[in-house]
Structures are given as structure tokens and as C-alpha cells.
Amino acid sequence: MEPKRLNKFISDTGFCSRREADRLIEEGRVTVNGKEPEAGIKVTPKDKVRIDDQLLNVREEAPVFLVLNKPAGLSATADMEVRDNVVRAINHPASLQPVGKLDRDDEGVLFLSNDSDFVRKLTKMDSKLEKELIVSVNKPISSDFISKLSEACASFENGIPKKAVVNKEATSRFRITLEPGMNHSIKKTCEAMGYNVTFIQRVRIQNITLTKLQKGHWRTLTGTEVESLKQLASSKPDKAPSKAKSGSRDFGSREHGAKANPNREKAGTSSREGYQKPARSGASDFSGAGKRIGKSRPAPASAGSAKGARGGAKGTPKTGGKPGATGRGSAPKRSPKR
């Protein structure tokens, strides 16, 4: 293994994040081979790195890149102190970390990997990834709401706004496509418009969708998918986009402007592709580890990788669900009362 910077070495052990590692180093709580480390030092697994006299070990693992169809009720974190987290539920042998954020009550596409550089860089580039979301709100939506939301999430290029594509799918449900550079804070945007978001399903990130991926199941990303995401993660951030010359306004003040513009873009036709009805709980979604779905064959077993190319997460969230759920929609039979 090539030498690593000390903070990355500590992070790769799963002890803490790089930022936290830097703090521990500054506080003098880290030693390398019994000595206080010099600035910029690089270490290998042969070096003895200790934090408060606790010896750290890095597991040598083959790179793992997964996509999970996360159900509601699980926290998208690797912190084992957090109840019902995705890493514990998947029960994969690799030291996985989730990429980006997806709230506990939300569902859909979530990447996980044991490549800490990949996780860190792709998380930073979150707003540069194209996403498709299905969003439900607490009251009926109107064409005026669709128009204003499209403008509120717009990106600007050379002073020209590019609106988000928003399609109404039901009385209180819509589908939105967020391109790189757009406002991805859907919940805050809707709240500012007087709507509360009750459910979000992320059905796509870039060209990676939930197709043939049941809720609570994961699969290994293909080499092409991984390479595409790595290129995005390594690309330099774009310069801050220039806003319209007439002065940028927040969407709350665009209400009159939206009405005054007769040539505003019309939302596209609605589409139900990829939508999955939200479950009442995630209890029955995680029914056994390594369960294959579809007709794909499991990848050959190798060090640091799961036995199957596709699988279901292990463990059941403690919140919600019917007692005794088996994951097949049936409960164990009870003996008749005497």
C-alpha cells in the first residue's frame, strides 16, 4: 500500500473524519512509532499509529462501490451510534460510507463506498450531480406553484436563467429534475412557498436509476458508472454563475414577474416512471442479507467484497412496521386461544 497522509490514514481506519483527525493531531494526541508526528508526514500500515495510546489498524480492502435503494426509516450515516443506519442494515464486509445526504424519512438512490477520497470528493460535488426527485407536499399544487418552483430552482449562465423541469404527477405530488448548479434545497424552497414536503424519493442521480432495484436492495456499480462518477468527483468546481443583469431576486419576489411573463416555459408532461408508493415503515424492506434480485448472477467472491452483485440489507429498523413481519408481507401464524 502506498504511503498516506496521516489524517487520511486515521480516517480510513474509521476512527474519525479527516477534519477530526487534524484536530487530534494538533492537540498532540496522535503518535507515529512512539513519536509526535511531523507536519505533512505520510504513513503506511507498517507504522504504528496511536491515538491516546490506542493502536489503529487499516483494513486492506478491495474498492467497493454500491448503489442502494434506501427505504424510509434508515439514517444515511456510517456512525454506528446512530440507530437504524444504512451501513449496519446492509451488513457488507467492507468499511462503507454513504455519499452525500438523504434524510431518514426520504427514499431512493444512495451511493456507498469504502474509497474515502471518492466519498469526500463526490459529497463536495453534490450540487454538480443531476438528480431526479419525486416530491409529495401537504396540500394540492397549482400550475402557479409549478411555475414559481421551476424559477426558484433555476441556474444562471451568462445572466440567463435556466429553469428546472417540474411535472405535476398527482394532486399533491410532482417530479423535478435538478441539473448541475441549480438550487437543490427542495424542502426549504417549498417551505418558503407555504408548502411542507411530506415525502421525497430520489429516483435518479446522473444516469443511475432505481430500475430493477427493489426498495431495501443494493447492487454493485458497474465500471463505467464508477469511472463516470470519479470524473465528476475529480473535476474542478465551476465559477460562481453570473446572475441576471436586472438584479437577482429570490423566488418569493418572483411571483408577479412569473405572471407578467407570458412566454415562460411550460412544464413537461407528467411521467410516473420510477415512482414507488411510499411505505408506512421500512420494517419489511430489509429481509435478509445478500439476497439477489432479478436474473443477474452474483459476482465471484473476492477479498473485501460481498458474495453477491446484488443484495438486500440485513436488519430491521426498530421504528414502525408490524410485529413479527417476515419481509414477505405475512406475519407468523398464532395458535388459537384456549
* Tens-digit pLDDT profile for residues 189-200: 999 999 999 999
* 113 plus 212 within the same structural domain: yes
* 128 plus 162 within the same structural domain: yes
Residue 130 domain flag: yes
Domain boundary among 236, 260, 284: 260
* 78 plus 222 within the same structural domain: yes
Containing structural domain, residue 247 = 65-260
Residue 307 domain flag: no
* 117 plus 18 within the same structural domain: no
Burial class, 285, CB count within 10 angstroms (exposed 0-12 / middle 13-18 / buried 19+)? buried
Beta partners for 98? Answer: 112
Active site residues: 103
* 35 plus 72 within the same structural domain: no
Residue 267 domain flag: no
Residue 143 domain flag: yes
CA distances, 72 to each of 123, 283, 286, 333 (Å): 21, 9, 11, 27
pLDDT, tens digit (0-9, with 9 covering 90-100), for 267-325: 344 344 455 555 544 333 443 343 332 333 334 333 333 333 455 655 545 444 444 43
Residue 28 domain flag: yes
* 178 plus 109 within the same structural domain: yes
Q: Which residues contact 190 (CB under 8 A, 6 or more apart)?
A: 135, 137, 149, 196, 197
- C-beta of residue 317 within 8 angstroms of C-beta of residue 73: yes
CATH classification at residue 98: 3.30.2350.10
Nearest by Cα to 111 from 176, 64, 168, 50: 64
- C-beta of residue 316 within 8 angstroms of C-beta of residue 286: yes
* 152 plus 184 within the same structural domain: yes
* 187 plus 220 within the same structural domain: yes
- Residue that is written with C-alpha cell 440485513 in the block: 314
Give residue 291's pLDDT. Answer: 38
- More reliable by pLDDT, 261 or 275: 275
Burial class, 162, CB count within 10 angstroms (exposed 0-12 / middle 13-18 / buried 19+)? middle
Nearest by Cα to 129 from 121, 137, 138, 141: 121
Nearest by Cα to 165 from 173, 157, 153: 153
Residue 266 domain flag: no
Residue 332 domain flag: no
Give residue 244's pLDDT. Answer: 42
- Euclidean distance between CA atoms 138 and 158, whole angstroms: 36
Average pLDDT over residues 115-138: 89
Q: Mean pLDDT for the chain?
A: 75
* 252 plus 112 within the same structural domain: yes
Domain boundary among 260, 283, 299: 260
- Euclidean distance between CA atoms 178 and 132, whole angstroms: 6
* 111 plus 10 within the same structural domain: no
Average pLDDT over residues 221-234: 91
Q: How many domains does the chain have?
A: 2
pLDDT band of residue 8 (cuts 50, 70, 90) is confident
* 236 plus 204 within the same structural domain: yes
Residue 163 domain flag: yes
Q: Cα 95 to the chain's mean position, in Å?
A: 17
CATH classification at residue 31: 3.10.290.10
- C-beta of residue 107 within 8 angstroms of C-beta of residue 276: yes
